[in-house]
Amino acid sequence: MVGRVRFNFTNSYAQLPERFYARLVPSSLSGARLVKLNSRLAEELGLDPAELASKEGIEILAGNRVAAGSEPLAMAYAGHQFGYFVRQLGDGRTNLLGEVIGRDGVRSDIQLKGSGPTPFSRNGDGRAALGPVLREYIVSEAMAALGVPTTRALAVVTTGQSVVRETVVPGAVLTRVAASHLRVGTFQFFLAQGDVDGIRTLADYTIGRHYPEAAQARHPYRALLHGVIQRQARLVAQWMLLGFIHGVMNTDNTSISGETIDYGPCAFMEEYDPRKVFSSIDHQGRYAYSNQPNAMHWNLTRLAETLLPLLVKEEGSDEAGLASAHHALEKFGLHFEAARNAGMRQKLGLTTEYGEDIALADDLLKRMAENDVDYTLTFRRLCDAAAMTDGDQGVRTLFANPADYDAWEKTWRLRLTKESISPQDRATQMRQANPAFIPRNHLVEAVLRAAIDRQDFQPFEDLLDVLACPYDDRPSMDRYSIPAGPEEYVSKTFCGT
Ligand code: AMP
Ligand code: MG
């Protein structure tokens, strides 16, 4: 039977050599139910929300039926997990349905997560639990609204089957949208096999899809490496500025397109502490908040290693190839600092650049850490302080010792006198850099509990609604902007895979 749901798939990855992936057959669970559809994203992708919500659409989103034009596959990849290399990981529970060209002309992957076993499942069941699926939906959509490059969430269906984790929980499938699912680990897969042809094919594919300007460069592979490094440096700077902790920055979770990918035990920090770790499996703090730039540099070094055979050829000698890789990696810190410092200036309401600005920012952060203040709320209330010279009350009361804030405030106000912008305009601009609403861990937990324990998805909808406009003041939504009380505080997060 020919289906009525139109995706207009145009699949480029499925044209690559067979060793890049494994083809998949549909699973055959019954009882799938659509619990969330991102209609706005569907429309941006040129998809019809009504078609996706139809009986046939839900079967497609559950992985039970193959849509017209879809060539379902699981991608092969390797990866360093917490520093240990695994030669073969691959999509163990995801299904790349295909690619669509959105209204903006951009190509996106449409992928199901939790749709059943694949040849890469190893000991896993190929499934996903409702809790982590809703979590990824909430956090990835929040990140998009915050302006951070990220994979998106298109739909959630419950499968009608349970999955066994620590307890028995409802199974679900997330439909994820990404610029692509190419990872550092995809390149590592071919290096581990000594397959230089595979690396070259993958690099050429990547340039065509994500870095077309590199194709015009005199050294295209060098330009590719520079491009990935620049995008990832900027991405991590954005995470840092928002207090976001990814939690599992393994090389298989590091995208080549520069998007945030794989929302597992990620979390937004509440009380500011650079050493903060949430993930229950990150015992050494490898992916602690302040280690994220280092972790990303380490991952990009692994990417550079995979490109080395191509760089050597391109640059003409072993030494020149190696020097080219080193040179690119050295740029990471510069890109990161530039993005981070520009972002910090914005957060503090500075539109001009003075040498002492970064020390001013770091001094505030130090005082914030000493006073355990809420990261997001401090910067948001600083916008009120910027609007009026006597608007400090809100922010200073967050400090256990308000005198710590007062001392810093004097220097800040002196610095503000060098700016010509009006206080009101400054505050308005600052509010664009300092969100009122982030997916606070206790809010996310409460939403998941309602959905899992009571099949009540209204709290999930309400939270999504607030997070869709994170930079707007909404006085009636105040409870979403304040930190967790002691009894609701979440100190650990879990992958739940
Ligand atoms: P992640 O921690 O989600 O980045 O996954 C790491 C690797 O484990 C990937 O190869 C996944 O496909 C695989 N994996 C995670 N959960 C499952 C599962 N439930 N069944 C099969 N494979 C899984
Ligand atoms: Mg992963």
For residue 497 and ligand 1, the question of a CB distance below 6 A is answered with: yes
Tell me what pLDDT residue 400 has: 97
Delimit the domains of the chain by residue range.
2-181, 198-346, 350-431
SS (H, E, C) the chain: CCCCCCCCCCCCHHHCCHHHEEECCCCCCCCCEEEEECHHHHHHCCCCHHHHHCHHHHHHHCCCCCCCCCCCEEECCCEEECCEEECCCCCCCEEEEEEEECCCCCEEEEEEECECCCCCCCCCCCEEEHHHHHHHHHHHHHHHHHCCCECEEEEEEEEEEEEECCCEEEEEEEEEEECCCCEHHHHHHHHHCCCHHHHHHHHHHHHHHHCHHHHHCCCHHHHHHHHHHHHHHHHHHHHHHHCEECCCCCHHHCECCCCECCCCCCEECCECCCCCCCECCCCCCCCCHHHHHHHHHHHHHHHHHHHHHHHHHHHCCHHHHHHHHHHHHHHHHHHHHHHHHHHHHHHHCCCCCCCCHHHHHHHHHHHHHHCCCEHHHHHHHHHHHHHCCCCCHHHHCCCCCHHHHHHHHHHHHHHHCCCCCCHHHHHHHHHCCCCCCCCCHHHHHHHHHHHHHHCCCHHHHHHHHHHCCCCCCCHHHHHHCCCCCCCCCCCCECCCC
What digits encode the pLDDT tens for the residues 199-233? Answer: 999 999 999 999 999 999 999 999 999 999 999 99
Which ligand is located closest to the Cα atom of residue 113? Answer: 1
CA of 279 to the centre of ligand 1 (A): 16
Residue nearest ligand 1's atom 10 by CA: 89
57: amino acid identity, one letter: G
What digits encode the pLDDT tens for the residues 233-279? Answer: 999 999 999 999 999 999 999 999 999 999 999 999 999 999 999 99
Residue nearest ligand 1's atom 21 by CA: 124
Higher pLDDT, 487 or 463: 463
**Which atom of ligand 1 has the smallest separation from the CA of 89?**
10
Contact 3, 55 (CB under 8 A): no
Residue nearest ligand 1's atom 1 by CA: 262
Nearest to 408 by CA among 361, 374, 375, 369: 361
- Residue 3 predicted with pLDDT over 90: no
Q: For residue 122, what are the CA distances in angstroms to 87, 88, 91, 381, 426?
A: 13, 10, 10, 49, 54
What is the pLDDT averaged over residues 172-187? 98
What predicted TM-score, i.e. pTM, was given to this entire model?
A: 0.98
Tell me what pLDDT residue 204 has: 98
- State both tokens at 41: 């994203």
- Residues of the chain with pLDDT > 70, as a percent, come to 99
Query: What burial letters (b/e) apply to 74-108, b meaning 16+ CB within 10 Å?
Result: bbbbbbbbeeeebeebbbbbbbbbbbbeeeeeeeb
Q: Over the Cα atoms of the chain, what is R_g?
A: 23
Tell me what pLDDT residue 497 has: 63
CB atoms within 5 A of ion ligand 2 belong to 253, 262
CA of 474 to the centre of ligand 2 (A): 35
CA separation for the pair 263, 460 (Å, rounded): 17
Active site residues: 252
CA of 258 to the centre of ligand 2 (A): 15
Tell me what pLDDT residue 27 has: 86
Q: In the structure, what pLDDT confidence band is assigned to residue 461 with cuts at 50, 70 and 90? A: very high
* Phi, psi of 73, rounded to the nearest 5 degrees: -150, 160
Which ligand is located closest to the Cα atom of residue 87? Answer: 1
- State both tokens at 148: 């951070």
Q: What angle do CA 354, 359, 365 make, to 5 degrees?
A: 130
